[in-house]
């Protein structure tokens, strides 16, 4: 009887070991998932020098496509921060509105050290912003000055509505020339999005004219082909940036 019990126990043990080995043989090996490679490179002077103004425009346009496709580049921002401590060589300076819905670096899929960004409600220029643009291009080597307006701009709408409040009043006076030059037979109110868009574009073009008029340095650099001065409109509905001719 005892021999029979030992035989049964031994048979069960052998069966368990065999089943375990069989399971190990048939279970597929799962490969570890690929990890996203984080970009840690930054613009150097050599890379910046190699760029042309048209290269920079193309870079920003391609970055905007990635933004609209929700395919932003994965970056090691800590590494980029460390690599830019000793210097910066951005490819462009972008004048944008202060609107929180226009995240400039994300809109163009750019990281630390890639862009200078100046912001003021209504993206107009004054002496300080012009000086910043001259620094970016003449001193730091940027190849593009971009005036970036946007749809549904509160500063543009407030200018159309002739808002008067504290320091907002003199600020909006910088945008009024763009409003006054728009020829439009329809409803000239902030509720008319078509008219608001026209004023937005007019304001961008007016700002570009002021850059060329008030900054001989930037005008000369553009004439020599060292930089390009351009304008564009950011569409909040689509995330796309439409470049003005």
- Position 161 pLDDT exceeds 50: yes
Domain extents in the chain: 45-243
DSSP H helices, 28-126, are 45-50, 53-68, 77-83, 104-107
Sheet containing 92-96: give its strands across.
115-119, 92-96, 144-150, 228-234, 241-243
Point out the least confidently predicted range of 16-25, 36-45, 167-176, 205-214.
16-25
- Position 7 pLDDT exceeds 50: no
Instruction: Report d(CA 86, CA 83) in Å as an integer.
Output: 7
Task: Work out the percent of the chain whose per-residue pLDDT is above 70.
Answer: 85
Query: What CATH class is the domain 45-243?
Result: alpha beta
At 32, is the pLDDT very low, low, confident or very high (cuts 50, 70, 90)?
A: very low
pLDDT at 24: 42
pLDDT, one tens digit per residue, over 112-155 is 999 999 999 999 999 999 999 999 999 999 999 999 999 999 99
């Amino acid at each position: 009887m005892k021999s029979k019990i030992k035989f049964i126990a031994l048979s069960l043990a052998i069966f368990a070991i065999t089943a375990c080995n069989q399971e190990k043989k048939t279970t597929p090996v799962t490969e570890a998932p690929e990890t996203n490679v984080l970009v840690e490179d930054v613009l150097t002077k050599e890379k910046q020098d190699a760029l042309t103004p048209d290269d920079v425009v193309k870079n920003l346009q391609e970055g905007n496509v990635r933004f609209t496709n929700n395919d932003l580049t994965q970056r090691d921002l800590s590494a980029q921060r460390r690599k830019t401590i000793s210097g910066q060589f951005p490819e462009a300076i972008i004048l944008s509105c202060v609107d929180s819905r226009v995240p400039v670096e994300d809109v163009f899929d750019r990281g630390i050290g890639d862009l200078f960004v100046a912001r003021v409600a209504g993206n107009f220029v004054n002496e300080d912003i012009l000086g910043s643009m001259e620094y970016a291009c003449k001193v730091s080597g940027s190849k593009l000055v971009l005036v970036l307006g946007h749809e549904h701009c509160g500063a543009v709408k407030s200018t159309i509505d002739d808002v008067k409040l504290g320091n907002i009043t003199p600020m909006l006076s910088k945008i009024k020339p763009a409003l006054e030059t728009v020829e439009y037979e329809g409803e000239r109110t902030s509720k008319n999005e078509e008219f608001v868009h026209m004023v937005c574009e007019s304001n961008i073009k007016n700002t570009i004219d002021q850059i060329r008029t008030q900054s001989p340095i930037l005008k000369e650099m553009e004439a020599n082909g060292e930089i390009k001065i351009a304008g564009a409109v950011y569409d909040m509905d689509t995330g796309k940036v439409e470049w003005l001719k």
